[in-house]
């Protein structure tokens, strides 16, 4: 449509809606069938244009990725990973020190702990009641997760150390 590129999508849509209702730009009734066909054609071309425009990653996400992969972004990401992996080491060591069988916490900030003679929900309840610590029952990850709980290292260092101290009471 002439001038639509200058006015943006809202002008195009406004003109299309007027034509679909059977009115020309002057507001006079026009050939409804011809207008409806033209409106449908305009809708289709707008749809194709929008599909092309929305066929990629949004601008804010692109700028976030750009920042993430900048030298400063890489430095900050590395520091954050090291922080969480440090928490994982603290939590893994604490769980192992009280005799729990632990898995993970080496290459990912999650520590899986085998529940001794308890279901994962029973262990969840015990840790919540006795230690005031929230963990994730393995049953939430499906049948194969039953018999395990997951401790997350995504926290500040102070909280990770406090959980490690509380685990000693198990």
Same domain flag for 13 and 89:
no
Q: What is the dihedral of CA 107, 101, 136, 92, to 10 degrees?
A: -50
* 23 occurs within a structural domain: yes
pLDDT (tens digit, 9 = 90+) per residue, 25-43?
A: 444 444 555 566 666 666 6
* 63 occurs within a structural domain: no
E strand residue ranges, 90-154: 102-104, 110-114, 136-137, 148-152
Q: pLDDT at position 50, please?
A: 57
Same domain flag for 44 and 110:
no
Question: Computed from CA positions of residues 62, 68, 70, 73, in that sequence, does the dihedral angle turn out positive or negative?
Answer: positive
Same domain flag for 82 and 159:
yes
pLDDT (tens digit, 9 = 90+) per residue, 5-31?
A: 444 444 444 444 444 444 444 444 445
Q: pLDDT at position 56, please?
A: 81
Domain count, the chain: 2
Same domain flag for 163 and 83:
yes
CATH number for the domain including 129? Answer: 3.90.1150.10
HEC states along 51-89? HHHCCCCCHHHHHHHHHHCCHHHHHHHHHHHHHHHHHHH
Same domain flag for 89 and 138:
yes
Same domain flag for 157 and 92:
yes
pLDDT (tens digit, 9 = 90+) per residue, 135-165?
A: 999 999 999 999 999 999 999 999 999 999 9
Same domain flag for 102 and 149:
yes
Q: How many whole angstroms separate alpha carbon 103 and alpha carbon 96?
A: 10
Same domain flag for 87 and 131:
yes
What would the mean pLDDT of 45-52 be, rounded to a whole number?
59
Domain that holds residue 129: 78-167
Tokens of 122: 């029973």
Helices 71-97, 59-68: axis angle to 10 degrees equals: 70
């Amino acid at each position: 449509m002439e001038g639509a590129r200058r006015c943006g999508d809202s002008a195009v849509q406004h003109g299309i809606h007027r034509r679909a209702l059977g009115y020309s730009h002057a507001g006079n009734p026009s050939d409804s069938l011809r207008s409806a066909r033209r409106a449908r054609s305009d809708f289709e071309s707008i749809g194709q244009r929008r599909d092309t425009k929305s066929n990629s990653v949004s601008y804010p996400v692109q700028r976030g990725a750009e920042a993430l992969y900048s030298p400063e972004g890489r430095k900050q990401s590395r520091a954050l990973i090291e922080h969480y992996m440090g928490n994982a080491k603290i939590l893994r060591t604490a769980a192992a020190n009280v005799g729990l069988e632990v898995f993970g916490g080496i290459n990912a900030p999650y520590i899986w702990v085998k529940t001794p003679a308890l279901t994962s929900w029973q262990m969840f309840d015990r840790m919540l009641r006795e230690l005031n610590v929230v963990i994730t029952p393995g049953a939430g990850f499906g049948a194969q997760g039953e018999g395990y709980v997951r401790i997350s290292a995504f926290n500040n260092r102070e909280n990770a150390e406090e959980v490690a101290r509380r685990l000693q009471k198990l």
